[in-house]
Amino acid sequence: MNKSLDVAIIIGSKSDLPIINETIKILDDFHIKYSLNIASAHRTHDYLIKCIRDAETLGVNVFIAAAGMAAALPGFIASMTLLPVIGIPIANVNCAGLDSLLSISQMPKGVPVATVSFDKTGAVNAAIFAVQILSIKCDNNTFCNSKRIREQLKQYKNEMENNIIQDNLNIIKS
């Protein structure tokens, strides 16, 4: 079996796709191999377990899970694996996402989920955090070379810094 998966992305519903596309863009930019599945901790728990096991069989190093409403998805994944799980809370009309944030961040002792910010910003941060984990994790994997990832991550962060400095210079000139 070809073990070539670095990140497994699982979202709670197809309505989360526009948000998780931000994660996918970053992972693509870093040439990170990933899978994407839609599964519900409440409605498709057997299928979710299969997704988790399949990802582990393919050599996944990190899970990213986006969920709204009760947001049990990241915690359920964390309860089923020893690998790091990054949770993205999705805002919703009922509680503006506060319920999702609390569900993901208030995990019981021994079942951690790294929680990032809401929606698209959280989706970008989840991808960057996964890249940072991979930058120290996967030295001997052909698909996931830590040195290459660290160099690309350094370049990405330098670009962010340069953009802010340029914005500042533009303000000063005005």
* Beta-carbon count within 10 A of 41 CB: 21
Q: Which residue has the higher pLDDT, 34 or 157?
A: 34
What's the chain's average pLDDT?
Answer: 89
Number of domains the chain contains: 1
Residue 2: inside a domain, yes or no?
A: no
Residue 39 lies in domain: 7-173
Q: pLDDT band at residue 100, thresholds of 50, 70 and 90?
A: confident
Residues 65-78: tens digit of each pLDDT: 999 887 899 999 99
56 against 150, higher pLDDT = 56
The model's pTM is: 0.87
Say yes or no to pLDDT of 36 above 70. yes
How many whole angstroms separate alpha carbon 21 and alpha carbon 14?
11
* Separation of alpha carbons 146 and 160, rounded Å: 21
Greater confidence (36 vs 94) lies with 36
Instruction: Determine, yes or no, domain membership for 1.
Output: no
For residue 32, tell me if it sits in a domain.
yes
Cα–Cα distance measured from residue 137 to residue 127, given in angstroms and rounded to the nearest whole number: 15
Give pLDDT tens digits for 47-71. Answer: 999 999 999 999 999 999 999 887 8
Please give the full DSSP string across 93-110, using - where no structure is assigned: TTTTTHHHHHHHH-PPTT
